[in-house]
């Protein structure tokens, strides 16, 4: 069984190869690219491949990074608990908003904790007539 880090890395590489993006897609010839795609597909579990294939058929990436707590696919902020869990999780996580697999880029910080700001309003006073 592949480790979560290996699954994430393999899925990132597969997504780049099938979409024709990234340095690996540009460096390999057609037959080498197909061989690498087949090798990566053999590593990944069936349920992950099914999700990946559905996303690719829609013309979307199947896995994206989270930067400052924001999903790179839908550009919506993740709930703070999910963003924090992403840092310590050993599993492949899915964006709550768009359903794309997400990962925290190595060395990236999770979303900063939201600070609550209070707005002081002037008190209404009754005017004398």
4-104: CATH, from 1.10.1740.10, 3.40.50.300, 2.30.42.10, 1.10.287.1490: 1.10.287.1490
Q: For residue 60, give the DSSP letter.
A: -
Q: Of the segments 4-13, 95-104, 108-117, which one has the largest average pLDDT value?
A: 95-104
**What is the value of pTM for the model shown?**
0.74
Query: What pLDDT was estimated at residue 30?
Result: 82
Give the bridge partners for 63, in sequence order. 101
Measured in Å, how far apart are the chain's first and last C-alpha atoms?
81
Q: How confident is the model over 19-70, as pLDDT tens digits?
A: 888 787 777 788 888 999 999 999 999 999 999 999 999 989 999 999 988 9
Both tokens of 80, joined, read: 């703070």
Mean pLDDT of the chain: 83
pLDDT band at 107 (very low <50, low <70, confident <90, very high): low
Percent of the chain with pLDDT over 90: 36
Q: What is the pLDDT of residue 57?
A: 92
Q: What confidence score (pLDDT) does residue 54 get? A: 93
Q: Are strands 101-104 and 93-94 parallel, antiparallel or unpaired?
A: antiparallel
Q: What pLDDT was estimated at residue 89?
A: 76
State how far the Cα of 54 lies from the Cα of 58, in Å rounded to an integer.
Answer: 7
Per-residue pLDDT, 28: 78
Note the Cα 102 to chain centre separation in Å: 2
Domain ranges of the chain: 4-104
What is the structure's pLDDT at 4?
76
Q: What is the dihedral of CA 41, 36, 34, 38, to 10 degrees?
A: -20
Pinpoint the alpha helices (H) of the chain: 4-19, 22-27, 30-43, 46-57, 80-88
DSSP 66: E
């Amino acid at each position: 069984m592949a480790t979560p880090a290996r699954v994430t890395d393999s899925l990132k590489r597969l997504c780049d190869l099938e979409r024709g993006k990234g340095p690996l897609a540009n460096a390999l010839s057609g037959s080498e690219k197909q061989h690498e795609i087949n090798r990566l597909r053999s590593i990944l579990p069936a349920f992950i491949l099914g999700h990946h294939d559905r996303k690719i058929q829609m013309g979307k990436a199947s896995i994206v990074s989270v930067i400052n707590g924001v999903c790179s696919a839908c550009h919506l902020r993740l709930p703070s608990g999910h963003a924090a869990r992403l840092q310590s999780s050993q599993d492949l996580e899915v964006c709550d908003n768009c359903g794309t697999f997400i990962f925290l880029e190595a060395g990236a910080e999770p979303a900063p904790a939201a600070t609550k700001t209070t707005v002081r309003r002037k008190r209404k006073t009754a005017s004398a007539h």
